[in-house]
Structure 1
Amino acid sequence: MTPLITGANRGIGLRLLQDYAKAGCSPIGTTRTDDPPHIAGVRWEYLDVADPGQQRDLGRKLEGETVDLLICNAGQYLDKHETLPSGYPPAMWAEMFATNVTGVFLTIQTLLPNLERAAAPKIAIISSMMGSQERAPGGSYIYRASKAAVLNLGRNLAQDLKSAGIAVGVYHPGWVRTDMGGQHAQIGVEEAAAGLRARFDALTLETTGCFETWDGHPHPY
């Protein structure tokens, strides 16, 4: 199996990449860094998901290859410490939406031909409980809005891609001890990655469009 994971040079993406390599898969990781970690059995490709030119380059490099599982993991959380009276500048909105929403769409669009070559293709979109409209405690407006948008994107793509045999799932990875989640988060990357892999394995056309937590519970929209 060939999984492709965006934003795989650190955090949850890196752990997923390592786990798939250890399981004997042939994972591809994308990164914006020039020196990604060396992992046996892993292929690295350079990609800024928000850059259409780099998306085209990736499509050309992977032309004719099969991607069984696309994990849209790349994301930004830049507004954690912004304040309502004077924060959340327009440029920050544009940058985060370009990565967290448009970048997901562009990646899926780029790799559709590769997914269509697979026997049972799947797309996993890493969103967040912070995108839930039913759980809205305030703050982090850009991140929350972008994760709500990508949840909506995933739900609609699930309907349009079902006829092509491509299942789409949207997932909350948990509050994870990473650079983004911070050291006081609830779970480690090992636990989050193991749970997410189980969710991806369980994803089918019957469950396409799901929004689930890393440990298998349906998440409120």
Structure 2
Amino acid sequence: MHVVITGANRGIGRALLGRYLDQGEHVTGTCRGTPPTDGAWVMLDVTDHDAGQKLGAGLDGQAVDLLICNAGVYLDKGENLADGYPAQMWADTFAANVTGVFQTVQGLLPNLQMADNAKIAIISSQMASHEHAPGGSYIYRASKAAALNLGRNLASDLRPLGIAVGIYHPGWVQTDMGTARAEITVDQSADGLKARFDALSVATTGCFETWDGRQHPY
């Protein structure tokens, strides 16, 4: 199995990459900076408008069985409604969390079609839910809601091609983004997410699930 993980050099992406390598899978990780030494790496900034095409070209006709769209940013922590949330912050966040996901899927679509029962996993957040809207973090919440909507629509379009799409809340995780105050460890999140990806199929395509297997309200 060939697994491609964006933003795989740290946090949840790094933990997932390690698990698939330990399982003996062929794993390609992407990162913006200097890559680690384990696995196969591609230096890639998902906000580059040619990122998806560059990634697809770099894989040189290799089938992709599982694409994990994990790269993302949370730039608006601490912003206030009165005079915060500048326009460029909106643009930068959506470029990474939404456009980057779409371009990655678009660029790797030929590779996904080469695999049997290919899967796409999109890391969103519980902060995407319109039923859970406590306010604040407007940019991040909006971008993750857009990623959820994107995943749901991709699921509809890709179902006839036999490609399943799942959208996932990874939990509040003890990473640089989640901070040390978060509820679960990176290992707990990665183990749970991997189980969700294993269970994903065309029959469940379009699902929005938590790391521990619960259906998340939209």
**Structure 2 portions without partners, runs of 5+:** none
**Structure 1 portions without partners, runs of 5+:** none
Aligned equivalents of 1:85, 1:71: Cα separation in 2:
36
Report the CA distance between 1:120 and its aligned residue: 1.0
Q: Residue 163 of structure 1 aligns to a residue in which SS?
A: helix
Question: Are 1:8 and 2:5 an aligned pair?
Answer: no
Report the CA distance between 1:57 and its aligned residue: 2.1
The equivalent of 1:26 in structure 2 is: 26
Aligned residues: 218
Aligned equivalents of 1:60, 1:220: Cα separation in 2:
37
Report the CA distance between 1:50 and its aligned residue: 1.5
- TM-score, normalization by structure 1: 0.97
Question: Are 1:36 and 2:20 an aligned pair?
Answer: no
Report the CA distance between 1:148 and its aligned residue: 0.4
Counting only pairs closer than 5 Å after superposition, residues 57-206 of structure 1 correspond to structure 2 as 57-206=54-203
Report the CA distance between 1:113 and its aligned residue: 0.5
CA contact (8 A) 2:63 2:115 kept: yes
Task: Indicate which of 189, 210, 214 corresponds to 1:213.
Answer: 210
Percent identity, aligned pairs only?
A: 64
Report the CA distance between 1:53 and its aligned residue: 2.7
CA contact (8 A) 2:52 2:108 kept: no
CA contact (8 A) 1:71 1:126 kept: yes
RMSD of Structure 2 on Structure 1 (CA): 0.7
CA contact (8 A) 1:47 1:55 kept: no
- TM-score, normalization by structure 2: 0.98
CA contact (8 A) 2:165 2:205 kept: yes
Aligned equivalents of 2:147, 2:188: Cα separation in 1:
24
Aligned equivalents of 2:53, 2:64: Cα separation in 1:
16
Q: C-alpha deviations, 1:119-168, integer Å up to 9, x for none?
A: 11000000000000000000000000000001000001100000000000
Q: Residue 178 of structure 1 aligns to a residue in which SS?
A: coil
